[in-house]
Structure 1
Amino acid sequence: MAKVATVAVVGRTNAGKSTLVNALVGEKVSIVSPVEQTTRNTIRGIVADPRGQLVLLDTPGLHKAVGTLGTLLNRMARRSAAGTDITCVVFDASQEPQLEDIGWMQRVAKEKPEKVVFVLNKADKSPFFEKMFRDAWQEACGTSGSSELELEKGVRGQSGSSELELEKGVRGQESGVRSQSGSSELELEKGTIPLWVKSISTTEGGAKPVLDALFGFAEEGELLFDEDIVTDYPRKLAIADVIREKYLAHLHQELPHELGIIVKRVTDEGSRWKSEAEVLVNRPSQKPIVIGRSASTIKAVRKAAERELKEVFGIPVSLELWVNVEPNWMKNQKLLSEMGYLGGLV
């Protein structure tokens, strides 16, 4: 029987969660941008593998909440972690631990989930910070009143996985399981809870140790989705995410978090889809930036989004975009609901 698990991919904003999810799934299901807080909804990516199926929830990055939208994003991230079989916490190991990283460690230490994977993402960029993350985890265990020994229960799971031998009582040892790709940089440590994994998700095969770790925790069961499905993310929200991604690429830091997208309707015209979307900004002065001189920006965004949507859905998608000023839209419950933020797990 196949091995199946639901996985919450959590961590602070811009730690590389969406890139990792896309690498695990093998197709693009989450938007990726160097701008922080890119993911705003909880997106389900579905991994089909000879061993079974993993349902990944790519959550908004945990950050210091500002306003209604920020509070909702943090709530969605925490709720995802609480309702899945495995918690996969992604850390940006190219820099020292941040407060949000320590917050996730403290949460894990306090709640003592039996199946946890700590991913040291971008581990190839600076090995110096790995020890700082491990030390921060030990401190989190101390402040929570728990210990690594207490968190060790259930490490092997009921599956007796041959892909990943998770031996009890081997805490702190540096022995590793090499990935099948032969990379000497990608080591999968065994015998610790949480299970520490080094990943270079931007490289081919770089996410394989994470995949092995997750299947090591998965248990036998019935598939949750058909084998040919890679995501059950609603079509309107997927289109909105692609439009946001293209705007982030064009505007960079000019309007990173003050840009909202509402897809009003998607019409199936047989040989193509027609989609109408509203772009929201907070202030009148932002409208010319989003439109661009002679409408150059909005045209470029539309064309780039249409190209990607055709690849994603396998059918031409024509976009009609218009820009409206909606002061404080990030505090407007009705608008946030239209964007899918008030529905919990979308």
Structure 2
Amino acid sequence: MEVKEGFRSGFAGFIGRPNVGKSTLMNTILGWKLSIVSPKPQTTRYVIRGVKTTEDYQLIMVDLPGIHKPFHKLGEIMTKTALKYAKDMDVNVMIVDASTRKPGKGDIYIAEYLQSLSVPRVLVVNKIDLVDRNEVDDIVSAFVEGLPAEFGDVVAVSALKGWNIDALEKTLAKYLPEGPLFFPPEMGTDVDLAIRISDIIREKILYLTHEEVPHSTAVIIDKLEDKGDIVVIYATIYVEKDSQKPIIIGKGGRRIKEIGTQARQELELILGKKVYLELWVKVKEDWRGKLGVLTDLGFTLPKES
């Protein structure tokens, strides 16, 4: 692809509290599913980058972990990572949940932090499908007036329904500086395949288990081999307590079989070929609170800049 004069390219950080719809919004703009989504908060643990390329711009969306008060080392890593990445964006997109009707303490904390950065800001009021259309303007005003930050643009959307997404995309594009392609135009993400696979497996756990168990799991890919006509994957699901292991496995192994079946079906669609997926469940006691174990599992605290 030959870029024309005036072509824009850059990075937009999607930032907000857990469960405001950051991942759904990025997936909707991309037109395909990259980030896993679930009704449970703190679904995104890694920094996920999705790339949307048009004739006029290349928008690199950075889906950051939800910012929250951490209760363990993993939460601290996720929050510090999100805050650090926000410093290096061309534009930060603060996403809030319209159904809450006004900013909460978490929203205010994020807005204060973004205001301290010399990075342009856009406010996205998401989930307007959950409120009466006649109330949207008042809800948007409540966020604009209640957040301690100045925003260059404010856009109300429904990521789930696809409402007003084109307008948002055009708004974000104008904040991108003129520049070259950072990624080939056909490339939709630079996320490592093993991370995408582990996230898909974890997404199925999030949907098929309840209470604290989903947040107590980590998925590590032990083996990933493309044999031409089939992709062979061995993965381990780690939990924190012995009592959680049978919950993942289920009676007669039914739940882990269902987790594997749903993950395999989605992976076959993504990879375009047959997948052999084998899952194991192991216990790593209190893994979310131990930095050494987290490092082994691929989670590291960002370096101070």
Displacement of 1:94: 1.1
**Alignment coverage as a number of residue pairs:** 292
Q: Say yes or no: does 1:199 pair with 2:157.
A: yes
Stretches of 4+ aligned residues off by more than 6 angstroms = none
Letter in 2 for 1:217: Y
Match of 2:207 among 249, 260, 266: 249
Cα-to-partner distance string for 1:238-271 (whole Å, 9 max, x where unaligned): 1110000001111143512111111112112121
Displacement of 1:109: 2.2
Cα-to-partner distance string for 1:53-75 (whole Å, 9 max, x where unaligned): 11111011001111110100001
Asked if the contact 1:122/1:201 (under 8 Å) is kept, the reply is yes
Cα-to-partner distance string for 1:185-232 (whole Å, 9 max, x where unaligned): xxxxxxxx3311111111235422220111111122110001111111
Asked if the contact 1:13/1:61 (under 8 Å) is kept, the reply is yes
Letter in 2 for 1:323: V
Equivalent residue of 2:123, what SS? strand
Q: Say yes or no: does 1:25 pair with 2:30.
A: yes
Match of 2:115 among 109, 130, 134: 109
Equivalent residue of 1:94, what SS? helix
Q: Name the structure 2 match of 1:234.
A: 192
Give, in whole Å, the separation in 2 of the partners of 1:262 and 1:300: 18
Match of 2:75 among 54, 70, 73: 70
Distance 1:101 1:35, change over 3 A: same
Displacement of 1:279: 0.7
Asked if the contact 1:198/1:209 (under 8 Å) is kept, the reply is no
Q: Name the structure 1 match of 2:41.
A: 36
Displacement of 1:331: 2.4
Distance 1:314 1:8, change over 3 A: same
Match of 1:136 among 135, 146, 151: 146
Distance 1:302 1:225, change over 3 A: same
Asked if the contact 1:97/1:133 (under 8 Å) is kept, the reply is yes
Asked if the contact 1:27/1:230 (under 8 Å) is kept, the reply is no
Letter in 2 for 1:110: S
Equivalent residue of 2:300, what SS? helix
Q: Which moved more, 1:128-137 or 1:71-80?
A: 128-137
Q: Superposition RMSD on alpha carbons, in Å? A: 1.7
Letter in 2 for 1:13: P
Q: Which moved more, 1:286-295 or 1:333-342?
A: 333-342
Asked if the contact 1:25/1:48 (under 8 Å) is kept, the reply is no
Letter in 2 for 1:117: V
Equivalent residue of 2:130, what SS? coil
Displacement of 1:317: 2.2
Runs (5+) with no aligned partner, structure 2: none
Distance 1:19 1:78, change over 3 A: same
Displacement of 1:112: 4.1
Displacement of 1:11: 0.5
Give, in whole Å, the separation in 2 of the partners of 1:201 and 1:313: 25
Q: Name the structure 2 match of 1:307.
A: 265
Q: Say yes or no: does 1:87 pair with 2:92.
A: yes
Displacement of 1:332: 3.0
Give, in whole Å, the separation in 1 of the partners of 2:295 and 2:230: 27
Distance 1:100 1:321, change over 3 A: same
Q: Name the structure 2 match of 1:261.
A: 219
Asked if the contact 2:98/2:127 (under 8 Å) is kept, the reply is yes
Equivalent residue of 1:298, what SS? helix
Distance 1:252 1:208, change over 3 A: farther
Give, in whole Å, the separation in 1 of the partners of 2:63 and 2:220: 20
Q: Name the structure 2 match of 1:172.
A: none
Asked if the contact 2:50/2:61 (under 8 Å) is kept, the reply is yes
Asked if the contact 1:262/1:338 (under 8 Å) is kept, the reply is no
Displacement of 1:13: 0.4
Give, in whole Å, the separation in 1 of the partners of 2:251 and 2:126: 39
**Aligned ranges for residues 142-161 of structure 1 at < 5 Å?**
148=150
TM-score normalised by L of structure 1: 0.80
Cα-to-partner distance string for 1:295-321 (whole Å, 9 max, x where unaligned): 000000001001111112222222111
Displacement of 1:284: 0.9
Q: Name the structure 2 match of 1:8.
A: 13
Displacement of 1:28: 0.8
Distance 1:60 1:97, change over 3 A: same
Q: Name the structure 2 match of 1:288.
A: 246
Runs (5+) with no aligned partner, structure 1: 142-147, 149-192
TM-score normalised by L of structure 2: 0.91
Asked if the contact 1:41/1:340 (under 8 Å) is kept, the reply is no
Percent identity, aligned pairs only, is 33
Q: Name the structure 2 match of 1:187.
A: none
